[in-house]
Amino acid sequence: MRVRHLSLALLLAASMSGGAARADTESDRLREALRSATAQARQLEDQRTALQAKVAAADHEIAAAKAQADAAKAETRQIEKQHREAVDDFNKRLAERDETLEKWKSAYEEAATVARTKDAERAKFEGEATAFKASTKSCEAKNTQLISAGREILKRYRSLTLGDAFVTSEPLTGLGRVGVQNFLQDSGDKLLDQKATP
């Protein structure tokens, strides 16, 4: 619109100037100015269109990064739930073992009062109790390592920033995504390594 108004004003100014020859050169000059203004307007429109496309692409990348961050949060919640279930299961089995150990101690005390023929049976119970104590210590050590792995996962999750999410979705090299996948694999391996065996 401004280009049209400018051109009309320039043409009007040219028509009001004196002399035909002078009008032609003034008209040529105005035409050239109009061409130049039109070319600049087109160039600016092209630049505006390109910038709008870049903004749309950036918005799309941000949305994709947010979706990935949300998926990572959901996965972390699932891992935390599995960790809690594993700890609960471990504590339940530990309580059962303690109860069994108490029963064996009681049986051992009864066996001590029995004749010498029962000594072999008493020794057997003692050996089993020792094995269960060692197993319990091993389970406690694994539980400590499970808690450490869980805290490491939580620390990584809490330190996640929008920049980290953007780096993980960087489509050119994919290095950020590989790093996240490696971390998740390592964390999964650490959790599985600490699984208690009966």
Residue 22 lies in a domain: yes
- What are 53-68's pLDDT values in tens digits? 999 999 999 999 999 8
Average pLDDT in the 18-25 region? 63
Whole-number percent of the chain with pLDDT over 90: 22
Residue 73 lies in a domain: yes
Residue 17 lies in a domain: yes
Q: Which ranges of 114-196 does DSSP label H, i.e. alpha helix?
A: 119-158, 162-168, 175-193
Residue 198 lies in a domain: no
- What are 114-128's pLDDT values in tens digits? 878 888 888 888 888
pLDDT confidence band for 3 (50 / 70 / 90): very low
CA distance 146 to 86: 9
Q: Give every CB contact of residue 28 below 8 A, 6+ residues apart in sequence.
A: none
Q: Residue 18, exposed/middle/buried by CB under 10 A (0-12, 13-18, 19+)?
A: exposed
Can you give the residue range of the structural domain that contains 108?
2-193
Average pLDDT in the 5-30 region? 63
Residue 25 lies in a domain: yes
Instruction: Give how many domains the chain has, as a whole number.
Output: 1
Residue 156 is which amino acid? R
Both ends of the chain: CA-CA distance in Å?
A: 83
